Each structure stands twice: as structure tokens, then as C-alpha cells.
Amino acid sequence: MARLLVTGGAGFIGVNFVHHWLAAHPGQRVVVLDALTYAGNLKSLEPVRGRPELRFEHGNICDTERVAALLREERLDTIVHFAAESHVDRSIHGPDAFVETNVVGTHALLKAARTVWIKEQGTAAHRFHHVSTDEVYGSLEADDPAFHERTPYAPSSPYSASKAASDHLVRAYHCTFGLNVTTSNCSNNYGPYHFPEKLIPLMIVNILEGRALPVYGDGRNVRDWLHVTDHCRGIELILARGSPGEVYNIGGGQECANIDLVRTLCGIVDQRLAADGGLRERFPACPAARGERCESLITFVADRPGHDRRYAIDCGKIERALGYRARLALDAGLRQTFDWYVSNEPWWRTVLDGSYQSWIQTHYSPVATPASGVARTTGPS
């Protein structure tokens, strides 16, 4: 029976992982540690609120002492580390937070794990799983082979550079201190609870609202899309059967140019609204509500600086070693994701109009790094 600390468990992938884990492993302790930045959302944990296995802890991963205390108090033996600043565009405008959380924060967690699991308990029965990205490998040309686990690191953005640094620290704690670590480098995820600043949820929300769909550059940048549930299953397999010190790439094998993806989404919305008068009434600003094509909203805008041209993942290692296979095809996954956003309109409306942030202010005090001296509170007031 594993006892998990899930960092960033109120963010997009973390919360999907928590839902997945609680459904698949009832009775196993799950402690979520999350600072509730703009990307963390307690409302995403609502469906599992009240589960006796689950504890939510409002805190910062940079707080080594707090993390060490949690590991002791809850007798946790597994860390699944999702917490990060994760948006490339934000890392261009403000890289500091990325170095703080992704590099310093990951190191703070590693220190806590080493202190409790190795120095104090001297036990091999622990696991630190680090959730990372394919973006550490840099950019591929159209005919380059896909990234594999030995592809040299060549990050282009402050985000990917900070994730690369964290990957190296995780590896170093294994080689130097014997920490039982595993790392997964995953391609672009999509699915429920995705903050609407990333491509797919942003496009869905903008289409429904009749707003411009900003496509960077020529729209021919390629990403390898993976439904978040398939990512969670990959992590679950690594926790169960992955070997200490190993790195596993996880991908969907579903490369798609941004412009093609946006056109596919537009086509899905055209179809859905054409077939459903209720949706036409709910989203009157959507072109499809007037029988027009949603593609009319596509607007090419200035390119992102340092924009990686193509990502593609070779996930042969995890397939061979652990029997992993992505299950959800991109088209089916996009339809499911669109339906989720339509069915969960209050979720994205509160995120977008800022009322979530004011709701959170009334429930929680600010959490900052220990050095800043800002008071920390735990749990809803």
C-alpha cells in the first residue's frame, strides 16, 4: 500500500492524477501539497472532497521543513512531483518564478526526501517520481527522429530550461545519495481541468465565446498530443514497476500542427452546435450558433520568441519495459474534452473572471517561501 504525497495536485495534470489514483487505489493515503497559484484550483478537487484517504495541504514545495514534517507525520513513502510553473509564455515574461519553483522547489523536495527517507529512516522502500516534459530535449526538424531517453538536452525557453535543471538534480540525488527516483518526460497533455491559457482549452473557450483564436507564427509548429488520462496511467505504471534511476518518455504518437488542431476543434464545435439547439442558445456569440464556421475566428499573430518547431516522443522504452500504450486517439480525446468544457462551464468561467481568486482569498492566506516570512495557513478557514 503506497502512501502518496502529490505536489501540484490542484493543477491540471496533478488533479487528474489524484482522481485517477483514488478511483484505482481506494484506501491508499493521498496527501496533496499545493500552493494554489493562479493555476491551482481547489474546485477541481471537489469531486473527491470528503474521501477519507485524501488530505489537502496548502503549502509551498520550497518549504523543506514542512515537506519533511508531512513525510514523517503521514508516514509517506512516495512523492509524485507535479508542482511547477508550467506555461512557456509566462516564462518568457517572468522567468524568476520558474527558477524558484521548478529548480529551487524541486531541490527543496529532494532535500526533504533525502533527510527523512535516507538519513532518518535508512529505508529503500521509497520513491520520488519526478514529472517532467519533452520540452527539455529542444526542437526537432520535420524529418528528425522522435525524442528518446538519450536525446541530449537542449531547452529553448526559461520553462524548459528550469525543467531540465530539475531533471538533473533528481538524477544527481539518485547517483550521489541513493534516492530511489524515477522521471517521466511527457509530451503535451490535454483534457479536463486544463487552465484556459494553454492552446486547447484556450481555443475551446474562445470559440464558444466568439473571440479570436490566436495562432502563433505560421501555425505549422507541431506538438505530440496525449490525453491526460493516458499520462496518469503511464505514471501509475512507473510507480508500480519502474526501475530506480530510470527515465521514461511518455507520448501519444499523435503529432499535429497547431493550425490543423485548431481547425479540427472548430469542426467539432461546428458539428456539436449544428446538432444541439440548447448549445446554440447557451453560446450565442459562437459563430456556429448563427450557422457560420468557427474557423472564421482564426487569427495569425506574432510568433512566440524561441518557439520550438516540433516535438515528437519515442515511447518505445515504456512500451517495452512496462507494457504502456496510450488508449485515447486525438480526435476522440478532443471531442471528450470539448464536451467536458461544455458540461463544466462554471469551472472555466470562475477561473476566467477572477472570482475563483477572490474565493480563494477568503479561504486561504498567502503561502510563500519560508525565507519571505509570509504566514502560512493550512486548510480552509
Residues with active-site annotation:
134-135, 159
**What is the spatial distance between Cα 26 and Cα 52, in angstroms, rounded to a whole number?**
10
As beta bridge partners, residue 223 has 256
Applying CB under 6 A, which part among 32-40, 56-64, 213-221, 274-282 lies near ligand TYD? 213-221
* Residue 35 touches ligand NAD, criterion: CB under 6 A: yes
Q: Provide, rounded to whole angstroms, the least separation between the CB of residue 96 and ligand NAD.
A: 12
Q: Which is nearer to ligand NAD, 278 or 362 (CB)?
A: 362
Beta-strand relationship, 213-216 and 298-301: parallel
Q: Which of 111, 113, 213, 197 is nearest to 159 (CA)?
A: 197
Rank residues 70 and 161 by Cβ distance to ligand TYD and give the closer one. Answer: 161
Pick 151 or 188: Cβ nearer ligand TYD = 188
Q: Which residue is nearest to ligand NAD (CB)?
A: 11
Q: Considering the rule CB under 6 A, would residue 40 count as an interface residue with ligand NAD?
A: yes
| Among residues 169, 199, 269, 286, the one that binds ligand TYD under rule CB under 6 A | 199
Residue 40 interacts with which of ligand TYD, ligand NAD, none, CB < 5 to 8 Å by class? ligand NAD
Selection from 39, 196, 148, 22 nearest residue 102 by Cα? 39
Shortest distance in whole angstroms from residue 252 CB to ligand TYD: 13
Whole-Å CA distances, 8 to 82, 118, 151, 354? 5, 24, 27, 20
Measured in residues, the chain has a length of 381
Question: Residue count at the site for ligand TYD (CB under 6 A)?
Answer: 12
**Residue from 18, 54, 83, 288 that binds ligand NAD (CB under 6 A)?**
83
Choose which of 5, 6, 11, 247 interacts with ligand NAD (CB under 6 A): 11
265 and 297 Cβ atoms separated by less than 8 Å:
no
Task: Give the nearest distance from C-beta 66 to ligand NAD in angstroms.
Answer: 10
Site for ligand TYD in 88-107 (CB under 6 A): 88
Residue environment code for 56-94, b if the CB has 16+ CB neighbours within 10 A, otherwise e: bbbbbbbbbebbbebbeebebbbbbbbbbbbbbebbbee
**Among 5, 30, 37, 66, interactor with ligand NAD by CB under 6 A:** 37
Cβ burial, residue 315 (10 Å; 0-12/13-18/19+): buried
Taking the C-alpha atoms of 167, 172, 174 and 175 in order, what is their torsion angle to the nearest 10 degrees? 140
**According to CB under 6 A, which residues from 282 to 341 bind ligand TYD?**
304
Confirm if 248 and 275 have CB atoms less than 8 A apart: no
CA angle, corner 45, sides to 73 and 340, nearest 5?
A: 155
Q: According to the binding rule CB under 6 A, does residue 254 interact with ligand TYD? A: no
Contact positions with ligand TYD (CB under 6 A) in 165-194? 188
Say whether residue 351 binds ligand NAD (CB under 6 A). no
- The answer to whether 95 touches 102, Cβ cutoff 8 Å, is no
CB of 186 or CB of 247, closer to ligand NAD? 186
| Residues within the interface to ligand NAD (CB under 6 A) | 7-8, 10-14, 34-37, 39-40, 60-62, 82-84, 86, 101, 105, 131, 133, 163, 186, 188-189, 195
Interface positions with ligand TYD (CB under 6 A): 88, 188, 198-199, 202, 214-216, 221, 223, 258, 304
